[in-house]
């Protein structure tokens, strides 16, 4: 009897193993790196619903959550051990490096098959194209701008609600900006706010937040250099080589501008080492009036510190002047692409693209995709997020029409306080520097911190050292 029972158990186990093996052979597993983290419960629930519906419609795929937040510190180890998700998010500073190291795969043939290739935003497509092959698709873009805490502006006597609509006005009755539109004007406004908040209320309020750590300082500083007239990396057509330009006169003027805000105007936070999470702490707690921010992050003071979204304005990066006095206004333009592990199979790439289509992250406008777009906006609304117009990944007319309809329904900011940014962006976009951006940002962080901590800092000497460091250890590799 015991032998018979053992035979039955073994037979059942064998059938189970065969069944499992058969399913594994028939189903393609697609790991999703952009799956929301577990603490984002509303988002996780939404993705789980999408997973269930997708697998019902596409039983040949098994969607598996593998949340991964891109980091230059962890990426290589994951890639080299074969542990990358099939599809993941990164930054637009990274594709060249990831492609050259063989970490991601070309998906051009799939984009042609799906009919997406020519629907992609031209600038974002260029950032994902190498040797005429495309290595990802964009999620969205952002532009760097100036975030204003309107409550502080009003308290400092610089703005008011002159039309009595309940929202502080950022232009006067003739439509002239009351916010700073030039670098000199920004410095003067920051200084005035700090002084007025101290004299009127005895409060220590920074006029402007300058970041200086976790590569955020160098990222923002690059835009300041452009608005003083030069790039940080230059190509020598005569020699066919790239060179660092971190110690140019424009770079010196931009760093001197930061120095003056710190040591002469005394309009910056006392803490010299600030990262991206610090700007919305200072803004959201009324400890600062202005910050340089990506347009994709304006909700952070609202969701983290309950800031009133009607006290927010987002305006263009102020213009500067070059060495000859000509006006220069550039806007750092970046974004988030989806990229695909070089170890992903054709079936996995196709499945990942189909899932992206299903959740409304493609140019497709069929019923399911549009429903997913609405679902995403509804969840954002339920979470109390600030919703402003997005910078679109796709240029297809049908897609843009759908997005316009959705944004008309869900955008919840006072658009007169945002329109100048979107209008200006179209003509001022400047992509991030082409090579080793994150490494360059880290080097520049150190320079900015030294200027913020040492009143006797030699700006030219600091930038000379940074230039040599970046040229020797990084940019020279582009000329091998």
Percent of the chain with pLDDT over 90: 94
Last residue of a domain, one of 388, 410, 432: 410
User: Considering the domain boundaries, does residue 118 fall inside one?
Assistant: yes
User: In this predicted model, what pLDDT tens digit does every residue of 249-285 receive, in sequence order?
Assistant: 999 999 999 999 999 999 999 999 999 999 999 999 9
Give me the mean pLDDT over the 17-40 stretch: 76
- 263 and 351, same domain (yes or no): no
Mean pLDDT of the chain: 95
Same domain, residue pair 283 and 382 = no
Greatest distance between any 2 Cα atoms in the chain:
99
- pLDDT score, position 14: 41
pLDDT of residue 22: 37
d(CA 87, CA 341): 6
Residue 281 lies in a domain: yes
**pLDDT digits over 404-447, tens only?**
999 999 999 999 999 999 999 999 999 999 999 999 999 999 99
DSSP 128-170: TEETTEE-EEEEEEEEEEEEEEHHHHHHTTS-B-TT-SSS-BS
> Is 16's pLDDT higher than 70?
no
Q: How many domains does the chain have?
A: 2
| Together in a domain, 341 and 288 | no
Sign, CA dihedral 195-198-199-201, equals positive
Alpha-carbon distances of 238 from 230, 231, 235, 241, 378, rounded to whole Å:
19, 18, 9, 8, 55
Q: Are residues 404 and 437 in the same domain?
A: no
Domain boundary among 410, 435, 461: 410
89 and 232 inside one domain: no
Residue 17 belongs to a domain: no
Q: What is the mean pLDDT of residues 325-346?
A: 98
Whether residue 43 lies inside any domain: the answer is: yes
| 2-16, 50-64, 211-225: the lowest-pLDDT one | 2-16
The pairing of beta strand 312-316 with beta strand 136-149:
antiparallel
> 10 Å Cβ neighbour count for 203?
14
CA dihedral angle for residue 224, residue 226, residue 230, residue 231, rounded to 10 degrees: 110
Q: What is the mean pLDDT of residues 202-216?
A: 98
Kindly indicate the confidence band of residue 365, based on its pLDDT and cuts at 50, 70 and 90. Answer: very high
Would residue 7 count as lying in a domain? no
Q: Is residue 243 scored above 50 in pLDDT?
A: yes
Closest listed residue to residue 149, CA positions, set 285, 50, 329? 285
pLDDT for 374-385, tens place per residue? 999 999 999 999
Among 410, 443, 459, which residue terminates a domain?
410
Residues 33 and 182 in one domain: no
Claim to verify: residue 378 and residue 459 sit in the same structural domain: no
Rounded to an integer, what distance in angstroms lies between the CA atom of residue 272 and that of residue 275? 10
**Residue 272: domain span:** 143-332+422-479
> pLDDT band at 479, cuts 50/70/90?
confident
The band of 26, judged by pLDDT with boundaries at 50, 70 and 90, is confident
pLDDT of the residue at 17: 39
Q: How confident is the model at residue 20 (pLDDT cuts 50, 70, 90)?
A: very low
Do 162 and 288 lie in a common domain? yes
Same domain, 251 and 112: no
User: At 254, which CATH number?
Assistant: 3.40.190.10
The whole-number pLDDT of residue 25 equals 58
> Lowest mean pLDDT: which of 3-17, 20-34, 163-177, 456-470?
3-17
Q: What global pTM score does this model have?
A: 0.93
5, part of any domain: no
Cα–Cα dist 130/438, whole Å: 19
Per-residue pLDDT at 10: 39
């Amino acid at each position: 009897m015991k032998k018979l029972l053992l035979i039955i158990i073994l037979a059942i186990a064998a059938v189970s193993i065969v069944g499992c093996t058969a399913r594994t052979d028939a189903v393609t597993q697609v790991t999703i790196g952009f799956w929301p983290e577990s603490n984002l419960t509303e988002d996780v629930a939404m993705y789980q619903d999408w997973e269930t519906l997708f697998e019902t419609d596409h039983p040949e795929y098994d969607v598996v959550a593998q949340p991964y937040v891109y980091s230059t510190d962890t990426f290589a180890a994951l890639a080299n051990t074969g542990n990358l998700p099939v599809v993941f998010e990164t930054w637009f500073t990274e594709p060249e490096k990831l492609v050259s190291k063989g970490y991601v795969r070309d998906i051009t043939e799939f984009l042609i098959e799906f009919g997406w290739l020519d629907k992609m935003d031209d600038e974002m497509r260029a950032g994902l194209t190498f040797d005429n092959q495309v290595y990802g698709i964009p999620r969205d873009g952002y532009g760097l701008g100036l975030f204003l805490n309107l409550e502080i502006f009003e308290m400092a006597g610089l703005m008011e609600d002159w039309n009595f609509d309940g929202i502080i006005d950022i232009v006067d009755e003739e439509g002239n900006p009351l916010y700073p539109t030039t670098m000199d004007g920004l410095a003067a406004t920051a200084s005035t706010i700090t002084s007025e908040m101290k004299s009127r209320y005895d409060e220590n309020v920074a006029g402007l937040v300058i970041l200086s750590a976790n590569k955020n300082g160098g990222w923002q500083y690059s835009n300041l250099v452009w608005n003083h007239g030069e790039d940080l990396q230059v190509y020598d057509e005569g020699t066919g080589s790239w060179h660092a330009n971190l110690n140019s006169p424009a770079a010196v003027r931009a760093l001197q501008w930061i120095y003056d805000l710190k040591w002469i105007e005394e309009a910056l936070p006392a803490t010299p080492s600030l990262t991206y999470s610090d700007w919305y702490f200072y803004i959201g707690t009324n400890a600062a009036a202005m910050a340089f921010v990506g347009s994709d992050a304006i909700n952070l003071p609202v969701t983290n510190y309950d800031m009133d979204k009607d006290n927010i304005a987002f305006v263009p990066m102020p213009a500067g002047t070059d060495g000859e006095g000509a006006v220069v206004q550039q806007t750092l333009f970046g974004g988030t692409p989806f990229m695909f592990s070089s170890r992903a199979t054709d079936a996995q790439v196709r499945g990942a693209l189909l899932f992206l289509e299903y959740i409304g992250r493609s140019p497709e406008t069929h019923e399911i995709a549009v429903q997913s777009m609405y679902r995403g906006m509804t969840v954002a609304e339920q979470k109390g997020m600030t919703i402003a117009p997005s910078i679109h990944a796709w240029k297809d007319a049908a897609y843009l029409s759908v997005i316009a309809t959705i944004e008309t329904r869900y955008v919840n900011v006072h658009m007169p306080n945002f329109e100048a940014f979107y209008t200006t962006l179209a003509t001022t976009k400047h992509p991030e520097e082409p090579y080793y951006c994150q490494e360059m940002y880290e080097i520049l962080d150190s320079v900015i911190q030294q200027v913020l901590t040492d009143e006797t800092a030699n700006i030219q000497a600091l930038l000379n050292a940074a230039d040599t460091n970046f040229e020797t250890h990084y940019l020279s590799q582009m000329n091998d």
